[in-house]
Amino acid sequence: MMGQTNVLYKGSLLTEHDIYLFKEGNHFKLFEKMGSHVTTVDGVRGTHFAVWAPNARAVSVMGDFNGWNKESHPLKVREDSSGIWEGFIKGLGNGTIYKYHIVSRENGYQVDKGDPFAFHWETPPKTASIVWDINYEWGNGDWMQKRHTANALDAPYSIYEVHLGSWRRVPEQEDRSLSYREMADHLVGYVKEMGFTHVEFLPIMEHPFYGSWGYQTVGYFAPTSRYGTPQDLMYLIDQLHQNSIGVILDWVPSHFPSDEHGLAYFDGTYLYEHADPKKGFQPEWKSYIFNHGRYEVRSFLISSALFWLDKYRVDGLRVDAVASMLYLDYARNEGDWIPNIYGGKENLDAISFIRRLNEVVYEHHPDVQTIAEESTAWPMVSRPAYVGGLGFGMKWNMGWMHDTLDYFSANPIFRKYHQNQLTFSIWYAFFENFVLPLSHDEVVYGKGSLLQKMPGDDWQRFANLRLLFGYMYGHPGKKLLFMGGEFGQWNEWYHEKSLDWDLLERPPHQGVRKWVQDMNHLYRSEPALHEVDFSNEGFEWIDFHDADSSVISFIRKGKTSGDIILVVANFTPVPRVGYRVGVPRGGVWKEMLNSDAEVYGGSGFGNLGGAEASQVPCHGRYQSVSLVLPPLGVVFLKSEGAR
């Protein structure tokens, strides 16, 4: 056979133990063995290829090195029933562009596929994989030493959610996106100045359709080449870490797109996905659903998770669309789904996979977090698998986001009828380890920007927005804000366009940005605002009954510091003078922040630096303070103790 002079069938990276683990779904570092790896065999430099295609009749490597010849470089199937084809091609190295040509045993099907384990891909719309060495000399050793503290559940999390392609663009150069390295020059300093603790990137894994925002992944081991090389992304992460900023990546183990060069129908059979469309096709997104019950697929996905944690040193994975994995009837009509063996709608294979994923992640990286985007009332999402939970570190609080934004969109005249919508989240706030998101999903597709959602004239819109952020920072739970919200972006987000940075030339937008910046610094510096987010020991209502005035008041408490922060919010445009609030301590209560301060664009109503408690019983307490509550404003006061 002609190809035998071109391919060596020796020097395999895979051992018998690798195959054993792969078959039983417990190989979690497949990226070290599968795909393309530059290596040396018999003193000759070249590239070893390995691809899983158990239903193929023939597999070959084609690329720029052989004129895309589909026959000249055949791989050989291993004789251990693993379904892995492999071979070594001498002379190939970094930068080689290639695909696998697969001839299926099924119906004569032939297809050209990208490498599921490729570390680098051509820039879309091109679709080939690239042999790539991902070595990088990291400079983030200090961060890696201390990140167990920065990523702990009692640490402050103020997450800045970013879409790389549209955060900032270069209008002078056809409005192109910034590269990874340019983002390092601009984003890092901005995030540090603003006081955010973490950045969360919408999926940066390679994806064919830019308009999917990365949520239709084909390259589970490769960052998109739209913004540079793997090392360029590593440099961006490195720079963030060197500035003490954590990095969280969106990751999509639920579904994948139907593009021919991707995972779909990989070897002429439904290999990564379910064969039955009632289980294998997601009608809402027109994509394919992973077969989480197949051992090799579990190894593939968990290896992908560990890859980003191992090789890119990220601090967390936000797992997308968990609800779609948990429920067999998700986004399906009656009769369009298949019940589990007990007749229920729970996806038992996916539940098992999720638990195993989280166990493996925390076993290998106890200093990171997994975060579930899960939109239902599924219990114990952020509780360990060994007590029956799903094992995530945290969960997005979608109920808080929707209820709060509904409340804020109401005219303040009518808010007194919706007080429960504002306070309901506290009743379940400690059932999970919650992140409070104001995410990208709420500012697209005609929903309007956060500022557009606010009622009233322009002054009231900005005041409401500052009040929304203040309420979020006071409320138990970690914080997440999508880019642009921090300065009051007027237009809703559009992925083909930069944020409207020129708005920062206008005082109201400067005021919102300054408010978020000061909120971040207060939040990070006050243990009471972040140490005990996930237990009712860190929260105590003062009063939530004053619906007629649309005022709520509560205190936040730290673990051991004894610090107490009082948060009082007025959700109407009526300033309230002499408003009495019961407090747990006497002495001076210093006003730390006031969203109505003139520096933020407010009207300047405030408490002249603080208030002293007096022996006037209120709200079931022996002492109280008399406050000025600013219109559509929130004040944070800290107990300085009795004098």
Q: Note if the bond before 125 is cis, omega within 30 degrees.
A: yes
Backbone angles phi, psi at 205, to 5 degrees: -65, 150
Task: Read off the tokens for 250.
Answer: 């969106």
Quote the crossing angle between the two packed helices 458-474 and 507-525, to the nearest 10°. Answer: 10
- Judged on CB neighbours under 10 Å (0-12, 13-18, 19+), 21 is middle
Q: What is the rounded distance in angstroms from the CA atom of residue 180 to the CA atom of residue 165?
A: 10
Q: Is the dihedral of CA 506, 510, 512, 513 positive or negative?
A: positive
**Residue 418 token pair:** 């919706």
CA 531, CA 476: separation in Å to the nearest integer?
A: 10
Active-site pick, 273, 320, 531, 596: 320
132/638 Cα distance (integer angstroms): 54
* 359 is known as an active-site residue: no
Q: How far apart are CA 496 and CA 175, in angstroms?
A: 9
Q: Are 643 and 570 in contact (CB under 8 A)?
A: no
- In eight-state DSSP terms, residue 64 is G
CA distance 610 to 590: 4
Other Cβ atoms less than 10 A from the Cβ of 577: the count is 9
One-letter amino acid of 382: S
Cβ contacts of residue 223 below 8 Å, gap of 6+?
Answer: 180, 204, 205, 206, 230, 233, 312
Q: Is 417 helix (H, G, I), strand (E, B) or coil?
A: helix
The alpha carbon torsion through 126, 127, 129, 135 (nearest 10 deg) reads 60
Helices (H), 393-449: 398-409, 419-427
Give the integer Cα–Cα distance in Å for 493 and 500. 10
From the candidates 373, 374, 486, 526, give the one annotated as an active-site residue: 373
Does the annotation mark 320 as catalytic? yes
State the Cα–Cα distance between residues 538 and 532, nearest whole angstrom: 5
Angle between helix 348-364 and 295-311 (nearest 10): 30
Helix and strand numbers, DSSP H then E, in the chain = 13, 32
Whether the CB-CB separation of 512 and 600 falls below 8 Å is answered with yes
Q: Which two tokens stand for residue 419?
A: 């007080």
Contact between 329 and 345 (Cβ < 8 Å): yes
Residues 129/505, Cβ–Cβ less than 8 Å: no
Cβ neighbors of 534 (< 8 A, separation 6 or more) are 153, 430, 432, 433, 434, 476, 477
Please give the span between the terminal C-alpha atoms of the chain, in angstroms, as a whole number.
Answer: 93
| Single-letter amino acid, residue 169 | R
Q: State residue 628 phi and psi, 5-degree precision.
A: -95, 115
Token digits of residue 183: 């983002």
492, 444 contact by CB (below 8 A): yes
Q: Which two tokens stand for residue 330?
A: 């998700």
Q: Please count the residues of the chain.
A: 643
d(CA 86, CA 59): 9
Please give the positions annotated as active site. Answer: 320, 373
